[in-house]
Amino acid sequence: MRIGKVAERAGVSVRALRYYEEQGLVIADRSPSGHRQYPESAVERVKFIQLLYAAGLTSKAIRQILPFLETLVATPQMTRRLTDERARIRGQIDALTRAHDRLEELIRLAAEYENSPATCSPSADVTASHTSPPRH
């Protein structure tokens, strides 16, 4: 399969695929004329790479994890990398969840204002990081 088709099916740009090769994340055969030739499996591989990128992993971190997919051989270092990244992602989810909850709180206040602008509490400490009190 050629690069354009892989890009289309994996939902990434052609440039991204060339970049992934440059980073050692995908390997492509070459036709006699120099065009990249990908196996079918490349599509799933690229999708997985995208998943990890979306989770905040760097090219380097992905490159260190990818060999496990092929060999399924888990060295202690490999296990360590996997669990480390899992921990990082958990932390990231926590941070996002905190931000989400704070925004939700603000959205609730906004809704209260839209329902009755005149009666809104004048000095709620909106920046404080306490959790909202139990609503009855």
Partner DNA sequence: CTAGAACCTCACGTCAACGTGAGGATCAAG
Partner DNA sequence: CTTGATCCTCACGTTGACGTGAGGTTCTAG
Using CB under 8 A as the binding rule, whether residue 96 contacts a second copy is answered as yes
- Which residue type does 32 have? P
Length of the chain: 136
Question: And the tokens for 72?
Answer: 């399924």
Using CB under 8 A as the binding rule, whether residue 118 contacts a second copy is answered as no
Q: How far is the CB of 26 from DNA (least distance, A)?
A: 11
Q: Which of residues 88-127 bind DNA (CB under 7 A)?
A: none
Residue (27 or 124) nearer to a second copy, CB:
124
Phi, psi of 55 (to 5 degrees): -90, 5
* Cα–Cα distances in angstroms (integers) from residue 67 to residues 6, 10, 24, 71, 101, in the given order: 21, 20, 11, 6, 38
Contacting residue, 24, 35, 44, 79, with DNA by CB under 7 A: 35
Contacting residue, 39, 44, 67, 132, with a second copy by CB under 8 A: 44
